[in-house]
Amino acid sequence: KQEVTQIPAALSVPEGENLVLNCSFTDSAIYNLQWFRQDPGKGLTSLLLIQSSQREQTSGRLNASLDKSSGRSTLYIAASQPGDSATYLCAVRPNSGYALNFGKGTSLLVTP
Amino acid sequence: GAVVSQHPSWVICKSGTSVKIECRSLDFQATTMFWYRQFPKQSLMLMATSNEGSKATYEQGVEKDKFLINHASLTLSTLTVTSAHPEDSSFYICSASSWNTGNQPQHFGDGTRLSIL
């Protein structure tokens, strides 16, 4: 069974810092990996999707990398802002099926 | 981009009531929809996979008679929590996918917060 782990569980940084969120998964037979943002009491917003054949994806201040063989992904946030405060979820889709396996998330607080 | 609408966003009701949650894909045909549940400070856990026109596939430990899923059209799936009890209070969220969007992000609704008194 696929296990997805996110470290750290919570993170607090001052505004302007660059930061890295980590995601690891136990089964490397994945179709893709997706990073989401979830605000309190809200649904999920897709941030970046990396196909299994890709190494990284970038969108604005966000960069996600994927090392499938080692079962790891990182989400890099540059020049963090208070508006980045949210829970960030990592999810992997297996080669068979569409359902996603989620990590427990990293709760990020960016202080002014 | 693809939009998934979920309704209602918040429900408070008495124990024993049945509650229906709707999940609609607004601008694409969703051959598959997924229902997840999220308890406080926990991650999303898949409850069931719903394919249009066929019976839903439930994850281990999820009672199919308690959580009724109907996916009668390519744009609508419903989850009915029958005879809800306080332990069913949770955040329920759906997502939708099309066979033609295998390389695209899975799209999520905004979720439904269910509180059973």
Average pLDDT in the B49-67 region? 90
Alpha-carbon distances of B19 from A48, A99, B10, B67, rounded to whole Å = 33, 24, 11, 10
Which 3-state string (H, E, C) describes B87-116? HHCEEEEEEEECHHHCCCCCEECCCEEEEE
Amino acid (1-letter code) at residue A76: Y
Q: Which of B7, B3, B4 is nearest to B78 (CA)?
A: B7
Q: What pLDDT is stored for residue B21 in this prediction?
A: 97
Residues of B in contact with A43 (CB under 8 A): 6, 93, 108-111
Phi and psi for B40 in degrees, rounded to 5? Answer: -50, 130
Q: Give the 3-state secondary structure of residue B30.
A: coil
Contact status, residue A6 vs residue A21, Cβ threshold 8 Å: yes
Spell out which chain B residues touch chain A, with contact meaning CB-CB distance below 8 angstroms. 6, 32, 34, 36, 41-46, 49, 91, 93, 95, 97, 102-111, 113
Residue pLDDT, tens place only, A82-112 = 999 999 999 999 888 778 999 999 999 999 9
Residue B12: count of CB within 10 angstroms of its CB = 12
Residue pLDDT, tens place only, A23-80 = 999 999 999 999 999 998 888 998 999 999 999 999 999 999 999 999 999 999 999 9
Q: What is the Cα–Cα distance from B84 to B54, expressed in whole angstroms?
A: 25
Q: What pLDDT is stored for residue B100 in this prediction?
A: 56
Q: Does A42 touch chain B (CB under 8 A)?
A: yes
Residue pLDDT, tens place only, B60-78 = 999 999 999 998 888 999 9
Residue B101: pLDDT above 60? no
More confident residue, B51 or A35: A35
- What pairing do the DSSP bridges indicate for beta strands A30-38 and A86-94? antiparallel
Residue B103: pLDDT above 90? no
Average pLDDT in the B3-19 region? 94
- Residue A41 C-alpha, separation from nearest chain B C-alpha, in angstroms: 8
Contact status, residue B26 vs residue B4, Cβ threshold 8 Å: yes
